[in-house]
């Protein structure tokens, strides 16, 4: 599954992507590391103990995808696994959010990974199969406050990969959808506010979340055990994701109560 296999990770310059690169490298995987920050990708490569190709690109530059996919495939003659991890988040009330924010987040978090998967999937199927790993979010399951655009994109990522799994399992494809809750990354600091500005500061929940290396280890364990979905969360976030499927009306009441209690003010979103 890992030894000598080529794993392509987007959003590999930091956070879950960087931690997963190191975890996969420790298992003997070869890596293709993608993102926009070439210098940061090079630093991740230096921390890995296996062959790695730094392949920077802008996720929304769809015209460049054929060339990028050719470079990735040519490096080792194949791609055995693709991890759709790149993305940006949001911290703003829907009523105060500019259309530009929706367009940017949907483009980066949903359309770009779908486009990359569509470019790689036929080759993977023709080669006898492989792995797809999609980093969705608990927000894509519960519809989290202050994350309307992000929740919509991550729900789409979950649904798209579920469909691909249904269509391609018999062709040798294995699909794992990961729905993280709070993980110690820069996701909140780099989130967009309602005017499409970078927020610039983090949340307490994120700062106290699951360490990125622990999250990566749990993803690797899920892959090894053949899981098809991993809710990578703890406490209320885990319970919320489970409640969405068991008793959605109760969850809706909990979320409404959360907002009524001043949740937005606590996050500095109003």
CA dihedral 231, 235, 239, 240 (to 10 degrees): -90
Range of the domain at 183: 6-266
pLDDT per residue over 111-134, tens digit each?
999 999 999 999 999 999 999 999
Which stretch of DSSP H or E encloses residue 179? strand 173-180
Q: Provide the annotated active-site residues.
A: 150
Residue 130 backbone dihedrals phi, psi, to 5 degrees: 170, -160
> Rounded mean pLDDT of the chain?
96
Residue 187 domain-assigned (yes or no): yes
Distance CA 57, CA 60 (A): 9
Q: Would you write out the chain's pLDDT as a tens digit for each of its 270 residues? A: 899 999 999 999 999 999 999 999 999 999 999 999 999 999 999 999 999 999 999 999 999 999 999 999 999 999 999 999 999 999 999 999 999 999 999 999 999 999 999 999 999 999 999 999 999 999 999 999 999 999 999 999 999 999 999 999 999 999 999 999 999 999 999 999 999 999 999 999 999 999 999 999 999 999 999 999 999 999 999 999 999 999 999 999 999 998 998 877 766 555
> How many domains, the chain?
1
Instruction: Name residue, tokens 């990522």.
Output: 157
Provide the CATH number for the domain around residue 89: 3.40.50.720
**Structure letter (DSSP) for residue 183:** B
Strands (E) in 43-147, as ranges, are 52-54, 81-84, 130-135
Asked whether residue 1 is domain-assigned, the answer is no
Q: Residue 117's closest CA among 101, 133, 94?
A: 133
Domain membership flag for residue 175: yes
* Pairing relationship of beta strands 81-84 and 130-135 according to DSSP bridges: parallel
């Amino acid at each position: 599954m890992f030894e000598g296999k080529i794993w392509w990770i987007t959003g590999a310059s930091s956070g879950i992507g960087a931690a997963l690169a190191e975890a996969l490298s420790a298992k003997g995987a070869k890596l293709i590391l993608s993102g926009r920050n070439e210098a940061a990708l090079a630093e991740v490569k230096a921390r890995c103990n296996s062959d790695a190709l730094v392949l920077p690109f802008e996720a929304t530059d769809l015209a460049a995808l054929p060339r990028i996919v050719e470079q990735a495939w040519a490096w080792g003659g194949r791609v055995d696994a693709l991890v759709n991890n790149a993305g940006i988040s949001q911290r703003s009330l829907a009523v105060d959010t500019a259309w530009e924010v929706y367009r940017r987040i949907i483009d980066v978090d949903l359309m770009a990974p779908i486009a990359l998967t569509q470019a790689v999937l036929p080759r993977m199927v023709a080669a006898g199969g492989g792995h797809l790993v999609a980093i969705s979010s608990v927000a894509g399951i519960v519809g989290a406050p202050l994350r309307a655009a992000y929740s919509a994109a991550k729900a789409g990522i979950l649904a798209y990969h579920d469909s691909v799994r249904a269509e391609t399992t018999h062709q040798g494809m294995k699909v794992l959808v990961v729905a993280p809750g709070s993980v110690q990354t820069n996701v909140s600091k780099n989130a967009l506010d309602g005017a499409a500005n970078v927020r610039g500061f983090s949340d307490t929940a994120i700062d106290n979340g699951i360490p990125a290396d622990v999250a990566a280890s749990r993803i690797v364990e899920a892959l090894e055990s053949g899981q098809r979905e991993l809710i990578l969360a703890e406490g209320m976030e885990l319970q919320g994701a489970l409640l969405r499927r068991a008793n959605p009306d109760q969850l809706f009441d909990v979320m409404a109560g959360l907002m009524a209690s001043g949740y937005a003010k606590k996050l500095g979103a109003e």
